[in-house]
Each structure stands twice: as C-alpha cells, then as structure tokens.
Structure 1
Amino acid sequence: MSTQYDIVIFGATSFVGQILCQYMVAQYPEGEIVWAAAGRSQSKLNSVVKSLKQNIPTIIADSDDEMLLRYMAEQSKVIISTVGPYALYGSSLVKVCAESGTDYVDLTGEPQWIRKMINLHEATAKASGARIVHCCGFDSIPLDLGNFYLQQQAQKVYCAPCTTVKMAVYQMKGAGSGGTFASGINMFKEASTDAELTKGLKDPYFLCSKEHGFSAVQRDVQTAVYDEDFDAWVAPFVMAVINTKIVHRSNELNGKAFGENFKYDEVIRIGKGFGSHITASAIGLGMRIFPLAITLPPSGYLIEKILTKPGEGPSVKQQNSGFFDLRFIGKTDAGQRLTVKVTGDKDPGYGSTAKMLVQAGLCLAQDISKAEKAGGFWTTATVMGEPLIKRLTERAGLTFTLLD
C-alpha cells in the first residue's frame, strides 16, 4: 500500500491529541517523521498547527463519516487515535483500518469494546494485513511490557517462564484522565443492563479466543490483603480490569509461552501497619460501590459532575511532576523468583501516556514490517516487544530494570 504519511494523529485537537502533537515536534525535527494531524474542525486544526510552529499537514475526518475516515486511513501507514470513549466514537475507524490494511493504535481501556472489535473485524484485519493494537497508553503498555520484560529475564536466568506474576503499584502521581473516566462510566452503564457483559468483565480470559483452554483460577483482590511477597497491605488496582485481560491475551498470542496455568494479578501496595490496612480496605470498598453508584440517580449525576471531563486535564507543570513506579514479582514452577521495576517520568494518564502512544505508532510504522508480523488484533508485547521497549527507554522516559 502506497502511503503519504508514517503516522496520522486522529483527534489532534483534543487535550491528549495536542500533547501528542507537542511531543512529536519536541522529539523530531521537521521532516524527520512524515506525519499529519487529523480532526473534524479545520479551524481547530489550524490553531493547533499554528501553536506548534511547524508546517504540519492536516486532514479532515469525523468519527461518524466512514468516507472521510477511509480517505485518512489510506494516506497513512499507522493511525493513532485519541478519540474516545472508543465504544461511543471508535468503531467506524477500526472497521475502516481493518478493511484498508492500515495499522492502528489507540488509548482504550474498554474491554467490552475491544472484544466486540475482535469479533467483528479480526478476520478482515488478518486478510488485509492491518495490525490493530489497542491499549497503548498507561493501560496497558507498562503492564504488558513489564510482564514481557520479566519473562525475558526469567528465560535468561532460569531458562523457564514465571508462571505466577504479581504486579504492585509502589508509587504513582498524576491526575485521572477525563477520557478514562468517561470510558469507565460508559462501560459500567453498559454492564448494568447486560448480564453477559458483567460476567465477561470478571473473566480474566475475556479477550482470549474461545478456544484458549486456560483454567487457572486467578487471584482477584477485592479488599485489603496482606501480601507476603510485597510485605505490605495491598488494595485493588482500578486498571486491573483491563490490564490482566491484555496480559492473558499476550500469553495466548505468544503460544502460551508463560504457561498453560499462568497466573497474573495487579494491586496497589499501601504499606504496613493498621493505618495502611484501613486505607486498603477503604479503596476496596470504594471500588465495589462505584460501579453501582455511577449507574443510579442522583449519585451518578453528582459523580459525573465532579470527575474530570474528556478534553480537560492537568497543567504542563502537573504532567511533568507526575510519575509511576511499578514492581513485578515473578515465580517459576520451581519456586525461583525475580523482581522487575518499571517506571515512568511523567504523570501516567497524560504525559507518559502520550509518549507511549506515539512511540507505539512509530514502532509499527518503522520497526515492525508486515512480513515480520502479519495482520490481526495484537497486543504491544506480541507485535512490538523489544523494539518498543527500546523506544520507550530512549525517547519516552520509561525504565525497565531487573532488581534481583
């Protein structure tokens, strides 16, 4: 397929989209990467391009107009989409990319939508050669690649996979993403009227194929638990609902390289002592109440008024002062243990996420040929792996470190 651009940023006028564009200009001199900014408003695109002080081409496209989306997709190797919630605004673009053979990455954390897209378009993407890669932000790149890196080290040290992996958030600072909140609210509203979806959201293998064959019972932390491996009280981690499903899909796509009975879970490490126990319990209670509260009046209305809205976000200073520190503890079947640390130098929801998304798109465009990885619905660990880790450590402020 002959294309004009390496990447097109769709949703370039959104809050996150503008951060992506600013990052591109800061990282790459004009002409080094051939890219364009896309959105539905020419005047807003002109304003963004003017602020960048580079001659960036623009493309008009709307999430509801397949003809315009197809025109955009056919001009680029990769489409980077920031237009969410994706369950509401993202389906037509995935369809068009799957049909046109154009690679695609996004920021979604919506498992119900990903499952729908796989069901509808996986065969088409395989036939056209389009590589569709969801979850290319904080959910779920550091988690998916963190486990991937841990497994690499386990093979080097023990010549065996870690068949049990626990991830704990040690430290994290940053504002919640308005787009993430909107996506989560939409997901819970869908689940409130769909018993099958509610069941699916609790299934760690929800994004695996129907023939996955996995049966290992996964730990599902719902309240305060004292974890001996992390030597602290731990609480549920809100993003585990998507991350765990992505990691298990990676295991299946990798030929069950982490084991037939691979176990993976995610928590937040709170600390020791009675106060930490209370904090962890409160987090667990809040996470159990929230899905119900958001779907019922008047609590749902009040919560939506309080939360950050799509298109809103933290200041540049707040983005730059944010960070995250994740720890992975893996054990082989023989009981051998490894610990890996993954960090980011910006707030996870915006600063780090924008850099990760751009590098994922560029990795597909420049590093991974279609002969090397064919079309289909992939995860970052299975289609990009080491080349993306290299990009993230060199250009996106992430670190991947073996601690023991």
Structure 2
Amino acid sequence: MTTTQTNYDLIVFGATSFVGQILTSYLAKNYGVGGDVKWAIAGRSESKLNDLKSTLGTESADLPVLIADASDETALVAMCEQTKVVISTVGPYALYGEPLIKACVATGTDYCDLTGEVQWISRMVKRYEDQAKQSGARIVHCCGFDSIPSDMGVWFLQQEAEKAFGQPCQDVRMRVKAAKGGMSGGTVASMINIAKEAGADPQLRKELANPFSICPPEHRSNVRQPSLKSAEFDKDFGVWLAPFVMGAINTRVVHRSNAMQGARYGKEFTYDEAMMTGKGTKGRLTAYGIVAALGTFFTASAIKPTRWVVEKLVPQPGEGPTPEAQEAGFYDLRFIGRTQDGKTMITKVTGDRDPGYGSTAKMLGEAGVCLAQDIKDDLPGGFWTPSSAMNGNLHERLTSKAGLTFEVLETR
C-alpha cells in the first residue's frame, strides 16, 4: 500500500520464469502497455527480459524493464518504491523469496505470489507481520491454483449458505472431480524442497501436520480436523478418494481466511480436500495407486541418496506444459458444505486452462490488478489470503476475466 507517487500499478518480478512468461503474455493481451494498468517486468537478466518483451507484440516495445536480483536487497527496495504491487514468480520461495518480502514490507508495497510452501509462509508471517502492519504492506500468498480455487470456492459457498440458510456451513469438503494439465519443474522443485526440509527437521514435520500452522496463535479448534491419508470411499459422492497433494497448503489457507474474517465460518469450522478416483474396483485401485506414488515421491525426496534420482526423473525448473496443453487443460472442483443443524449445499468451481500454469497465470494476474486497483486503503497492512483481502472484488475478476466459474448445484 505504497502512499508515495509510484510509476506502476504492478511489476512482474521473475517475468522470464515459466509461469512469468505466461503471465506477461496474459497482461499484454488483456491490458496492453501504458493503459489503465501500468505495469513493468523485472528480473536479473536484462537480455532475457528484452527477449521476452520481443515475444509480446509490437505494442510491448514500450514495456518498461527493471533489473533486480532476488538476493540484492538494495535493488529490490528500489524496485518496490516504484510500484503499488509486486507479483513474484521466483521460486522455490523458501530458497529465494524472503529478500523481496522484506523489501515490500519495508517500503509498504503490496505483494502477491503463487507459492504453495506452507513452511515458508509460516516463517514470513512470524518474521514480518508486525512490520507489515506498521508499513501498510498487504502480503497475499497463494494466488495461483493453490489456493485461489479452494479459498474462493469456500468463500463463495459460505456466501451462498448465509443467503440460503442464514448461517455458514460448519463443515466443508472439497473434492477434485476432474483435472487435466502438466506439472512444471518449478512446482516439483518446491515439493522436493519441502520434503528435504521436513526430512531434516522434526519440529517442521510437526508444524506441517498442524492444520492451523499459518493461523494466528489464538485461532484454534477443539474439533479434530479431517485429513485423508489413504484411500477412502466417499458416501456423499459415491466414489473412491485419494489424498490431494495440494490439500496440505489449501486447507491451511482456508483456515487462515476464516481467522482473518473473525471466524466467520465458525470457531469449530472443519475443512479437508481429496481427489475423486472413480467408482467400483477401478476407482479403489486408482486411489491406492495414488497413495503409493505420493508416498514414494516424498520419501525419496526427503532422503539424500535417493533425492538425486527423483531430481533426474522429474521436469526441471523452467520446464512445463506446452501452450497447446495449457489450452486443453481444465479443472472441476466440487464443494459440499453442512451447517450445524444439517442443511447441505453443493457447489462447483471450474477453470478453463490447465490448473498449474494457464489458469494460475490468469488468477495471479487478476489478483495483482485487484490489489492495485480495487482494494482501498481501509484494508490494513499484514499477511492476508486471497478471499480475506479481495473477496467479492476478486470473485468478479475471476469470473469475468480469468475463466473461472462458481455455481450452486444443490441445496437441501
């Protein structure tokens, strides 16, 4: 929330990264250059940034380029002083993200990213939240597939439940009905780093098991939170379930959203996520196969002798799905919520691109523009979540520009 005169509404930091390139293409196509949204690109390599600019069309010849390295605090502060919002795509954030958070907090600059690294978010909140409150910087992590569809999906369901039932749903479950899209090397690198850190730190393993790990200390529940560890049959939807790898971050973000809204969903609110794997024997076998695959990946990633094998087999940072694969991708999420007195609502959230990149870039871009143009000074500085910071403003942008739909399917 920079109060001095700034040159830009937003700066894309790490613009030449895999998702950064998709994001800049989206911004150029939908907002142009030097129009209603004034933006710039930034990173450490001027030549790569200029190469990127040349791919964005003739209108982008005037797109400003700023040079800053993720480890150069002086350059990062100078960059932050020029803009209302910084969008960062430089991960793994646990390895490279802290200096930029520090610079944004010092300068009162708003910030959003697409991290899914809950252990890093926890560290940033503990180290910088008090200073962010003083400077006015609004820090909003998790503005990609993790965790906007989950976080805004629960927000939407609760809005509709309050209209229909006069109360929020105390228990909400999200189920991934269908999804199609490739995984990038950056996402895999972040997952490997989490496994590496957790393997070496028993205290971190304990923290990662805590569903309230990024909530304020006073926000806790006496109700045990559901957490799917193995294959399970879901009676609500009549299908088999497997753990959803993004659930570990999404559930934490949803609980922080509840906390940041004064326990609007209820003090004993429960939430979990899982993947639908189908009906009958095939669905059951698929669920157990996913459980085994996830266990093997995280175990191998946590141990040094086998980690290098994993790193050789998975996509490398900078690699990801082709533009055609992004276009062909999609996701369909279902939410079932129940009130304290047993009323039920089922809602649906869909995205029209592959989850991790095509859709994430659009969500991240709209979150940045929303922070810069829609969110007023009455939102104080601090560490927020997408729904608690941007609520209806972001919902409108997601549905009108970013290809998401939110729909009530059933009320009973």
Length-normalised TM-score, structure 2: 0.96
Q: Does the Cα contact within 8 Å between 2:399 and 2:405 map onto a contact in 1?
A: yes
42, 45, 52: which is aligned to 2:49?
45
Partners of 1:248 and 1:295 lie apart in 2 by 27
Q: CA RMSD in A?
A: 0.9
2:395 matches 1:395: no
Whether 2:14 is the aligned partner of 1:8: answer: no
Q: Report SS of the residue matched to 2:153.
A: helix
Deviation of 1:215 after TM superposition, in Å, equals 2.3
- Counterparts of 2:167 and 2:186, CA distance in 1: 39
1:145-164 equivalences in 2 (<5 Å):
145-164=152-171
Can you give the 5+ residue segments of structure 1 that lack an aligned partner in the other structure? Answer: none
1:379 maps to which of 371, 385, 394: 385
8 Å Cα contact 2:33/2:39 also seen in 1:
no
Task: Count the aligned residue pairs.
Answer: 403
Correspondence 1:118-129 to 2 at 5 A = 118-129=125-136
Q: Name the aligned partner's letter for residue 50 of structure 2.
A: N
- 1:346 matched to 2:353? The reply is yes
**Counterpart pick for 1:368 among 369, 375, 378:** 375
Q: Is the deviation greater in 90-99 or in 288-297?
A: 288-297
Runs ≥4 residues deviating over 4 A: none
Task: Report the Cα distance in structure 2 between the residues aligned to 1:352 and 1:386, rounded to whole angstroms.
Answer: 19
How many Å separate the matches in 2 of 1:73 and 1:133? Answer: 15
Query: Please, which of 25, 41, 44 is the counterpart of residue 22 of structure 1?
Result: 25
Q: Which position in structure 2 is the counterpart of 1:34?
A: 38
Residue range with higher mean Cα deviation, 202-211 or 212-221: 212-221
CA distance in 1 between counterparts of 2:376 and 2:315 reads 39
CA-to-partner distance for each residue in 1:134-155, whole Å, 9 max, x for gaps? 0000000000000000000000
Shift of residue 285 of structure 1? Answer: 2.3
Structure 1: distance between partners of 2:307 and 2:290 = 19
SS in 2 for 1:294: helix
- Residue 292 of structure 1 and its aligned partner are, at CA, apart by 1.4
- Residue 284 of structure 1, CA deviation: 1.5
Contact 1:7 / 1:361 at 8 angstroms: preserved in 2? Answer: yes
Structure 1 CA distance for aligned equivalents of residues 43 and 223 of structure 2:
44
Shift in Å at residue 297 of structure 1? 4.6
Residue 355 (1) aligns with residue 362 (2): yes
Q: Could you give the per-residue CA deviations for residues 33-73 of structure 1, whole angstroms, max 9, x where no partner exists?
A: 11000010111111111111212001001100000000110
CA positional deviation for 1:14: 1.2
1:264-303 mapped onto 2 (5 Å cutoff): 264-303=271-310
Pairing 1:115–2:118 present: no
How far apart in 2 are the matches of 1:396 and 1:306?
33
Partner of 2:71: 64
1:336 partnered with 2:340: no
Give 1:31 deviation, angstroms. 2.4
Report the alpha carbon displacement of residue 390 of structure 1 after superposing the two structures with TM. Answer: 0.4
Give 3-state SS (helix, strand or coil) of 1:256's partner. Answer: coil
CA distance in 2, matches of 1:13, 1:130: 25
How far apart are the structure 2 equivalents of 1:127 and 1:214? 29
Aligned match for 1:226, one of 228, 233, 241 = 233
For 1:403, the aligned partner's letter is L
Take 1:136 and 1:30, find their aligned partners in 2: how far apart are those partners?
23
Cα deviation per residue 1:339-379 (whole Å; 9 max; x = unaligned)?
Answer: 110000000111000000000000000000122x1100000
Inter-partner Cα distance in structure 1 for 2:179 and 2:9: 33
Greater mean alpha carbon deviation, residues 286-295 or residues 71-80: 286-295
Any residues of structure 2 matched to 1:66-85 within 5 Å, and which? 66-85=73-92
For the residue of structure 2 that corresponds to 1:384, the secondary structure is helix
